[in-house]
Structure 1
Amino acid sequence: MCRHIAYLGPPSPLGELLVRPAHGLYRQSWEPRRQRYGTVNADGFGVGWYADGDPVPARYRRAGPIWADLSFADLARVVRTGALLAAVRDATLSGADAEAAAAPYAAGPWLFSHNGAVKGWPGSLGRLASLLPANELLSLEARNDSALVWALVLHRLRDGDEPGQALADTVLDVAAAAPGSRLNLLLTDGETVCATAWGDTLWYLAEPGRSRTVVASEPYDDDPGWREVPDRTVLAATRTDVLLTPLKEPPA
């Protein structure tokens, strides 16, 4: 379920990254090439981007399919950015949260997305949810598994964890509480991108000479530079470097 993408590089229109590529996120909403679970991502979409001089990203999110939103077509044509995170959504369960359930989620400089599903939701994460302060639980943007996973990641970030460590530890905790979950997480602050491959596809395209890195659920074109991230891996990237670190299975 779901497809997402993060970009760091020279300023570019949103449409050049999300719409124009032959197999970009826009097309992945109805015809993904490598999606293992679900077939159509039409239950919402969102894009978050950073403007020069402002560390807090802007977001545009809607509850319907990306191809039906004419306002997004205008935004994609004229808005330029050097960093973004975008996603199209295939909902695991129906709900009443509408666009609040669509990634990217945000707090301060951070944008976050979850591609996957938590097994046994919501009961499986009761213990982990109980570890969060009440004000953080009450601040959840939506009542779905992705929003709670984001709250767990954000709690670690606020406690001072490095982004990659916050993702890795959250994945291991959730995987231990809900075995069989798919937990591909994507996080950016506009300068770095961190991601996990845990149960679904993840790829990256690194072009150090252009100071450009793309991390995505699947390649948006047939450039031979795309590399698949092995399952059970955390990725940490800047505009010029990509580091892959294996993740261990949580104890049984």
Structure 2
Amino acid sequence: MCRIAAYTGPEIPLENIIVRPAHSLLAQSQHANEAKLTVNGDGFGISWYGADKAPGLYRDVLPAWADENLTNLCRMVHSRLFIAHIRASTVGETSRANCHPFKFGKWSFCHNGQIPHFKAIRRRMLAALPDQLFEAMQGTTDSEMIFFTLLANGLEADPAAAMRATLAQIGPAGDNGPIKITCVFSDGETLFAFRHATTGNAPSLYASGVLDNGGRSLASEPLCGTAARWSAIPTDTMCAMTVAGVKTLDGLVAA
């Protein structure tokens, strides 16, 4: 499974979340503690927000630990809100287009999990997309399809309702295994988080308290390595994180 780290708060260098913590996202790329695979080496990516509404995006197919550009970028780029992702692929080949985060307009999105029956529903879900979103898709992953389906289902107006509609389109899991969705996404102002599994545990995601600089973070595994200092994002509930804290939106998203 993939690993995610995100931040919102006062502007900081990206390395303060991605590189420098004791159990940073970079450390998790080789030593994940709460995933099926300890190594996540099928690419990485970062989306970050600045003065423009549209996020910057950097993605590559190299393992995160093997790209010196990543540590230099994280040292030099400062941002008030960003999302980073390291990939362990389940659907879609290892290519830059399939690396997370994905972006469209002001939105950026990343995902950890899988839709095991994706091949059976892919054509139907593609056909349901408006032309503008269909033409914007670049990769072949279930993750990107989730993102663009959310956009088609009204993500801008109501993230919780968009997720309900998207889960309905994905449908039941069938015989190929459980659907697992843990995702983090943003419009440049708020970090949204959601966890879901049809059976078993959804992939992990935690929210920090107030960090030393006054910001907050979401991460697949606590960046300090101590879970007691972090709170698990509840399953089947859309959560929104700002500097002020974490709140749920519109109650339960899925039963």
Q: Identify unmatched segments of 5+ residues in structure 2.
A: 197-201
**Structure 1 residue matching 2:229: 3-state secondary structure:** coil
Contact 1:194 1:235 in 2 (8 A): yes
Is 2:116 the counterpart of 1:119?
yes
**1:31-75 C-alpha deviation (Å, 9 max, x unpaired):** 11111x333210010011112x22111111001101111111111
Partner of 1:238: 242
What is the TM-score normalised by the length of structure 1? 0.88
Distance 2:164 2:216 in 1: 21
Contact 1:125 1:177 in 2 (8 A): no
**Aligned pair in 2 of structure 1 residues 220, 39: CA closer, same or farther (>3 Å)?**
same
Distance 2:167 2:213 in 1: 32
Distance 2:80 2:66 in 1: 26
Q: Identify unmatched segments of 5+ residues in structure 1.
A: none
Alignment of 1:128-139 (within 5 A): 128-139=125-136
Alignment of 1:199-214 (within 5 A): 199-207=202-210, 211-214=214-217
Contact 1:168 1:234 in 2 (8 A): no
Distance 1:99 1:209 in 2: 34
Is 2:42 the counterpart of 1:46?
no
Percent identity, please.
30
Tell me which of 64, 72, 75 is aligned to 1:74. 72
Distance 1:39 1:148 in 2: 26
Tell me which of 152, 155, 158 is aligned to 1:162. 158
**1:149-182 C-alpha deviation (Å, 9 max, x unpaired):** 1110121247x532343234323432x2435211
**Structure 2 residue matching 1:17: 3-state secondary structure:** helix
Partner of 1:100: 97
List structure 1 segments (4+ residues) > 4 angstroms apart after TM superposition: 208-211
2:44 partner letter: F
**Aligned pair in 2 of structure 1 residues 74, 90: CA closer, same or farther (>3 Å)?**
same
1:110 partner letter: W
**Aligned pair in 2 of structure 1 residues 15, 206: CA closer, same or farther (>3 Å)?**
same
**1:170-196 C-alpha deviation (Å, 9 max, x unpaired):** 23432x243521111211122101111
Residue 210 (structure 1) shift: 5.5
Partner of 1:219: 222
Q: More displaced, 214-223 or 100-109? A: 214-223
What is the TM-score normalised by the length of structure 2? 0.87
Tell me which of 218, 229, 233 is aligned to 2:233. 229
Contact 1:204 1:226 in 2 (8 A): yes
Residue 209 (structure 1) shift: 9.3
